[in-house]
């Protein structure tokens, strides 16, 4: 294989890599620092609302409300701070596979120990 | 092949160890293998913390004669430390942003602030553990205490490891000793840090806020 041939072989990957790098750059261009501050502000407000439930009784809505707050905060950090919303989908697939497997395995464990019905 | 041997710089480029876009050159996906590995690692970490959280959920009512969650939790303190950890995610993402802009000085500053906020969180956790111990909650007091200390302790160790990585990163940026793509290195540590943050989001709700 000659040097030229090697360069040709490397080019498609390079092109994709530049595309990915460009994608990254694009993600950062769409997320100036002000956006991060806004997301952090939303997270702070959600945490304050969660904490308020310690003093305010929401009755039967207590647990569902807290779970919704938790999932919202989880998703916000994942999409914006970890850039999953704008990064290559393969990164998300790897993470969601682990997360999905975790939910399936441990929900099965909790159900088998009758955690939700006792 | 002899041509390749005669041009080591070509092998270097194909292997993806050249400068600039380190990690993504010459990979079959066109993506950084380091970043893929980090996401895979974080996916596997979900299983670790999933196991610990599930175990706690099953045992949280098994406090025997020892103190239970309702008698121990200091929600205002834990809320403040949760807020501190959340804000450390903001400073971390700002560090990544400045690293992508090539601003080493600001990257170092934000990384240091992140480490400081992380250390504050760990300090609050040590204070919490100490006060729980003085109230009679040892590691082997009950199934509840063992599962609680194991879960939150594992998380605390993760935060501590993150602080060590952040400080090492600050020092390496200062000495210009980071091989390959500097911004990517900051981003990888950032992913780990944000993951530790999202795990705490789950722990804070399921362990502290939802009553047993």
Interface of B with A in 81-120 (CB under 8 A): 82-83, 86-87, 89-90, 92-94, 97, 100
Q: Where are the alpha helices (DSSP H) in chain A?
A: 3-30, 33-52, 62-76, 89-112
Question: How many Cβ contacts (< 8 angstroms) between chains A and B?
Answer: 172
Mean pLDDT of chain B: 87
Phi, psi of B51 (to 5 degrees): -65, -45
What are the tens digits of pLDDT across the range B81-93?
999 999 999 999 9
At residue B211 the predicted structure's pLDDT band, cuts being 50, 70 and 90, is confident
The answer for residues whose C-beta is within 8 angstroms of residue B145's C-beta and 6 or more apart is B63, B66, B137, B138, B139
The pTM assigned to this predicted structure is: 0.82
At residue B161, does pLDDT exceed 50? Answer: yes
What are the tens digits of pLDDT across the range A58-100?
888 999 999 999 999 999 999 999 999 989 999 999 999 999 9
Q: How far apart are CA A67 and CA B57, in angstroms?
A: 15
Q: How far apart are CA B163 and CA B103, in angstroms?
A: 21
The DSSP symbol for B19 reads S
- Asked whether B43 and A94 are in contact (CB, 8 A), the reply is yes
Spell out which residues of chain B touch residue A63, defining contact as CB-CB under 8 Å: 210
- Asked whether B197 and B85 are in contact (CB, 8 A), the reply is yes
Write down the residue that tokens 């194991």 correspond to: B150
- Please, what's the b/e burial string for A22-39 (b: 16 or more CB within 10 A of its CB; e: otherwise)? ebbeebbeebeeeebeeb
Interface of B with A in 19-38 (CB under 8 A): 21, 24-32, 35-36
The answer for residues whose C-beta is within 8 angstroms of residue B131's C-beta and 6 or more apart is B74
Query: Quick one: CA dihedral B202, B79, B191, B165, positive or negative?
Result: negative
Q: Where are the domains of chain A?
A: 1-30, 31-84, 88-118
Helix (H, G, I), strand (E, B) or coil at A113: coil
Q: How far apart are CA A56 and CA A95, in angstroms?
A: 35
Query: Quick one: CA dihedral B42, B48, B54, B60, positive or negative?
Result: negative
What are the tens digits of pLDDT across the range B37-69?
999 999 999 999 999 999 999 999 898 888 888
Q: CB count, 10 Å around CB of B49?
A: 22
- Asked whether A23 and A87 are in contact (CB, 8 A), the reply is yes
Chain B nearest C-alpha distance from A9 (Å): 9
The answer for residues whose C-beta is within 8 angstroms of residue B196's C-beta and 6 or more apart is B85, B155, B158, B159, B162
Helix (H, G, I), strand (E, B) or coil at A103: helix
Q: How far apart are CA A74 and CA A51, in angstroms?
A: 16
CATH code matching the domain that covers B32-209, chosen among 1.10.599.10, 1.20.120.80, 1.10.1060.10, 2.20.25.90: 1.20.120.80
Q: How far apart are CA B202 and CA B190, in angstroms?
A: 19
The pair of three-digit structure tokens given for residue B28, joined into one six-digit string = 């079959």
Nearest to B153 by CA among B137, B169, B168, B166: B137
Spell out which residues of chain A touch residue B31, defining contact as CB-CB under 8 Å: 16-17, 20, 88, 90-91
Are B30 and A25 in contact (CB < 8 Å)?
Answer: no
Q: Tell me the Ramachandran region of residue A89: left when phi exceeds 0, alpha when psi lies from -120 to 50, beta otherwise.
A: alpha
* ipTM value for the complex: 0.84
Q: Where are the domains of chain B?
A: 1-31, 32-209
* % of chain B exceeding 70 in pLDDT: 88
């Amino acid at each position: 294989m000659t040097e030229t041939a090697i360069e040709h072989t490397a080019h498609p990957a390079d092109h994709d890599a530049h595309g990915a790098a460009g994608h990254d750059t694009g993600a950062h261009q769409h997320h100036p620092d002000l956006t991060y501050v806004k997301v952090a502000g939303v997270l702070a407000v959600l945490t304050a609302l969660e904490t308020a439930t310690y003093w305010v009784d929401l009755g039967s809505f207590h647990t569902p409300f807290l779970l919704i707050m938790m999932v919202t905060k989880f998703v916000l950090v994942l999409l914006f701070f970890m850039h999953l919303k704008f990064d290559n989908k393969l990164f998300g697939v790897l993470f969601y596979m682990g997360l999905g497997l975790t939910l399936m395995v441990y929900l099965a464990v909790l159900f088998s120990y009758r955690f939700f019905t006792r | 092949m002899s041509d390749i041997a005669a041009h080591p710089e070509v092998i270097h480029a194909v292997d993806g160890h050249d400068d600039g876009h380190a990690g993504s050159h010459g990979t079959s996906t066109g993506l950084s293998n380091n970043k893929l590995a980090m996401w895979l690692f974080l996916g596997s970490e979900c299983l670790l913390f999933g196991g610990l959280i599930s175990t706690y959920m099953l045992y949280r009512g098994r406090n025997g004669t020892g103190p239970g969650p309702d008698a121990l939790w200091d929600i205002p303190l834990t809320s403040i430390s949760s807020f501190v950890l959340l804000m450390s995610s903001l400073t971390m993402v700002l560090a990544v942003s400045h690293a992508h802009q090539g601003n080493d000085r600001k990257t170092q500053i934000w990384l240091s602030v992140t480490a400081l906020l992380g250390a504050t969180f760990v300090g609050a956790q040590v204070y919490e553990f100490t006060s729980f111990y003085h109230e009679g909650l040892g590691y082997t007091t009950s199934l509840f205490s063992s599962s609680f200390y194991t879960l939150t302790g594992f998380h605390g160790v993760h935060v501590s490891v993150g602080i060590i990585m952040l400080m090492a990163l600050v020092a390496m940026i200062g000495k210009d000793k980071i091989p390959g793509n500097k911004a990517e290195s900051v981003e990888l540590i950032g992913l780990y840090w944000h993951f530790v943050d999202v795990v705490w989001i789950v722990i804070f709700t399921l362990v502290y806020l939802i009553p047993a």
